Structure 1
Amino acid sequence: MTSPAPAHPLAVPDFRFYWTARLASTVAQMAMVIVIGWQVYDIARATMTQREAAFQLGLIGVVQFVPLFVLTLVTGWAADRVDRRFIARASIALELFCAGFLAWLTYSGEVTLFALFGIAALLGVARAFAGPALGALAPNLVPRELLPRAIALSAMSWQGGAIAGPALGGYLYAIAPYAPYSVSAALFLIALFCMFMIGPKPRTAIVGSKNPWRQMIDGLHYVRQNRLVLGAISLDLFAVLLGGATAMLPVFARDILHAGPEGLGHLRAAPAVGATLTAIWFSWKPLKTNVGVKMLTAVGVFGAATVVFGFSRQMPLSLLCLALLGAADMFSVFVRQSLIQLYTPDEMRGRVGAASTLFISASNELGEAESGFLAAAIGPVTAVIAGGFGAIAVTLLWARIFPELRLARTFDPPENGDEPKKETVT
């Protein structure tokens, strides 16, 4: 007799370990990120003006993005050729080292801008490998029909970590500057244990060329030819690149809203609150119809919320705008990830996931850099407002350039030619 098919992703033991590992590692990552940003800005402000210190925040984004940009082809290829569990374990182990090293530097009072930039680069390397491996591993853990819910739950674990992480980092830093890094190290240990508990999973062999370099290029070729996937990924890239207000949160918390490190934790957590509520809704009632139009609308709302946040001088309104911004972003993320995972064959998920990670990182890290540099030039408030309007403009432009997005009705890949077709890479 065969066991009945699971009715929910959390009924699958390996997915539960995966979910826990993502939650623990995300809490740790976000706790570290919030403190690294605060330390960079605080150390810089001791000798620099507000705009010069904002420029340092922009450089942190560049430092984290460069490893992702350089390693994208390698990390995607590795996720399709090497056991994805091994890659995830090694990435988490590297993050564990970073947390422990920063804890020691901060405790001993020897933390410097140089050290913070160096650790940020190592975290970028870890994320470069972890992103494609973890993204491609999730579909191997659950039946295909449960994948949209699994994506929502995975997003929920990430967003839940994004809620707890910044607040935890801010509060622990107020107690002792080294405490956030110490707790992050412990959480990375938990994540590493959970990844070791996931059993081996069969994967589809790479088809086509046996040349590793050609196999790496095939992933980019697939993304370029599949206009639905390309449109979804690039929309997020340019919208978040322009509308990334989160990079300026240390500036708003310290010099505009005058909220201090605890207030910064609240500001960083607010987008994740909205995103988590959206992910919970999708895990219970997945989106099924008019997915493309709804994604475009969500990105437009993201831009509008960014504009209002830039004008706000009251903490409650700022938190509300950030929560709405996070909810809209989660809506877009859920649609994009579902389209990518369900439209991409398993043997190419690592390489396509690497391209997606590069685009996402470009929107996040380069968005931070763009926001920091623009803030240095025209001021943080003007930079945030202009970025929000830019995100709205990108949404309108992408709806015209990529009609495939407007025409996407469901997550089911087209079989009868009624919707845009993808090209098979050989």
Structure 2
Amino acid sequence: MHSPSIPRHPLRFGNFRAYLLGRLTAVLAQYGMMIVLAWQAYNVARETMSTGAAAAQLGLIGLAQFLPLFFLTPVTGWVADHFDRRMITRFTLLLLVLASGTLAFATYEGWVSLPLIFGIAAIVGVARAFNGPAYSALAPNLVPREVLPNAIAISSVVWQAGMIAGPALGGYAYAAQPWGAYALASGLFAVALLCMLLIGPVPQPPRDTSRHPVRQMIDGLTYVRTNRLVLATITLDLFAVLLAGATALLPVYARDILHVGSAGLGHLAASPGIGAGATALFFSFRPMRTEVGLKMLGAVVLFSIATIIFGSTAFLPRAIAPEVGIAALVLLGSADMVSVYVRQSLIQLHTPDEMRGRVSSLSQLTISASNELGEAESGFLAALVGPVAAVIGGGIGAIAITLIWAKLFPELRLARTFDPPETRAAESTQEPKSIQEIAQ
């Protein structure tokens, strides 16, 4: 039963409200900055390179952001489990303020270059490597377990709102004044930093000093490897988005295929977030309760189909191609949100608090691999076979991966609810209520 002394809604907790505002402004800044980085790099490259060679620069930007995450993941998860998660987010947000501010100044002065863009992209990758696990592991410390599923849904709404508005703000700001896009990102990161400073003391898992830190870092990988349900959700998202990386090639589609320019790029980049935000908002009122595994598998197939439709806009008349592309991206974002919601809920509810940082760091690595490394794969593949074939082929490959995962991981097909087995066993001896029902 829900304790009458515990508020029934996560927004009743002041620390969680500050966390949400900080998350919103940070995501706005992050996604606005990322789309502008790609757009600026592509345009700088196109001054001296062909379309294929310029598309490869998008791959290099993705690689510059992914490599720091890849090498730092074991350390960042351990750090999130052993140090104040609030302080970690504060230091990384300060680094992001300085990085985006540097690009704003360089663009204003006119000495921005590809090496500088790649260097800043790498710095952003380092900051995100530490920021992501700390942010994810901090959220469950701000609300009681009883309201955590609703908190996850609301946090997803905020995240998707940032994804919707961030690229649009970045694209429009860049169209108005190129340096203004980075200045806006720097200001938003500063607001996020202020919000994190407002969060008071929160519970921190006890530090394990009995074993070597390297052994503890390996524990996170061991936990994910042995929990096949968590492993299935993380790796399915990894390979599906890695292959179906349509959004990585949006600058190519905006400039050279759909011919919609930087303003149109903002529309295209915001479209997945619109679909995802609407879906997350729906889940915040009606949390998913049953057949969570099958719904995730179906959502990934739908995500792949939407990717194929977007890639095929190259063959449509120019008068309708942008509208069809936007609709496909909205559908893509909605399907992706279902996958994100299932994965995040399973990780948060199946992982002990003392390991959330390490498990979250591994989850972030796979997300970054599917996003940033997916950008690299899409950029390089587009340089080899063309952007249209890269997008359509990726969507077909993602469908194949989903079918293979459904066969390899029956635990995912059979997952009925988010509740861990021990929770279901305990509740079967008390009241037949799930965590989702309590949260409502």
What is the TM-score with the length of structure 2 in the denominator? 0.93
Aligned partner of 1:335 in structure 2 is: 342
Mapped to 2, the partners of 1:169 and 1:227 lie a distance apart of: 39
List aligned pairs for 1:335-354, cutoff 5 A.
Answer: 335-354=342-361
Mapped to 2, the partners of 1:8 and 1:410 lie a distance apart of: 21
Mapped to 1, the partners of 2:209 and 2:152 lie a distance apart of: 29
Q: Of residues 347, 364, 368 in structure 2, which corresponds to 1:361?
A: 368
Distance change >3 Å, CA 387–CA 139, structure 1 → 2? same
1:319 matched to 2:326: yes
Aligned-pair Cα RMSD in Å: 1.3
Mapped to 1, the partners of 2:269 and 2:183 lie a distance apart of: 20
Aligned partner of 1:423 in structure 2 is: none
Check the 8 A contact 1:209/1:215 in 2, yes or no. no
Q: Of residues 376, 389, 407 in structure 1, which corresponds to 2:414?
A: 407
What are the Cα deviations for residues 228-273 of structure 1, in whole angstroms up to 9, with x where unaligned? 1111000000000000100100000000000000000100000000
2:110 is matched by which residue type in structure 1? G
Aligned partner of 1:109 in structure 2 is: 110
Quote how far apart the aligned CAs of 1:416 are: 8.4
Quote how far apart the aligned CAs of 1:4 are: 2.7
Quote how far apart the aligned CAs of 1:417 are: 9.4
Mapped to 2, the partners of 1:42 and 1:292 lie a distance apart of: 42
Partner of 2:178: helix, strand, or coil? coil
1:294 matched to 2:276: no
Mapped to 2, the partners of 1:408 and 1:3 lie a distance apart of: 31
Aligned partner of 1:226 in structure 2 is: 227
Partner of 1:415: helix, strand, or coil? helix
List aligned pairs for 1:64-103, cutoff 5 A.
Answer: 64-103=65-104
Mapped to 1, the partners of 2:267 and 2:58 lie a distance apart of: 19
1:95 is matched by which residue type in structure 2? L
Structure 1 unaligned segments of length 5 or more: list them. 419-426
Runs of 4+ in 1 over 6 A off after TM superposition: none
Check the 8 A contact 2:82/2:205 in 1, yes or no. no
1:377 matched to 2:350: no
Aligned partner of 1:424 in structure 2 is: none
2:393 is matched by which residue type in structure 1? A
2:385 is matched by which residue type in structure 1? I
Mapped to 1, the partners of 2:98 and 2:178 lie a distance apart of: 18
Mapped to 1, the partners of 2:424 and 2:97 lie a distance apart of: 48
What is the aligned length?
A: 417
List aligned pairs for 1:302-313, cutoff 5 A.
Answer: 302-312=303-313, 313=316
Quote how far apart the aligned CAs of 1:356 are: 0.5
Check the 8 A contact 1:75/1:132 in 2, yes or no. yes
1:388 matched to 2:395: yes
What are the Cα deviations for residues 144-191 of structure 1, in whole angstroms up to 9, with x where unaligned? 121111111111111111111111111111111100111111111110
Partner of 2:421: helix, strand, or coil? coil
Mapped to 2, the partners of 1:351 and 1:206 lie a distance apart of: 13
1:393 is matched by which residue type in structure 2? A
Aligned partner of 1:255 in structure 2 is: 256
Check the 8 A contact 1:99/1:184 in 2, yes or no. yes
1:334 is matched by which residue type in structure 2? Y
Check the 8 A contact 2:59/2:375 in 1, yes or no. yes
Mapped to 2, the partners of 1:348 and 1:340 lie a distance apart of: 11
Structure 2 unaligned segments of length 5 or more: list them. 426-440
Quote how far apart the aligned CAs of 1:210 are: 2.1
Mapped to 2, the partners of 1:223 and 1:207 lie a distance apart of: 19
Partner of 1:29: helix, strand, or coil? helix
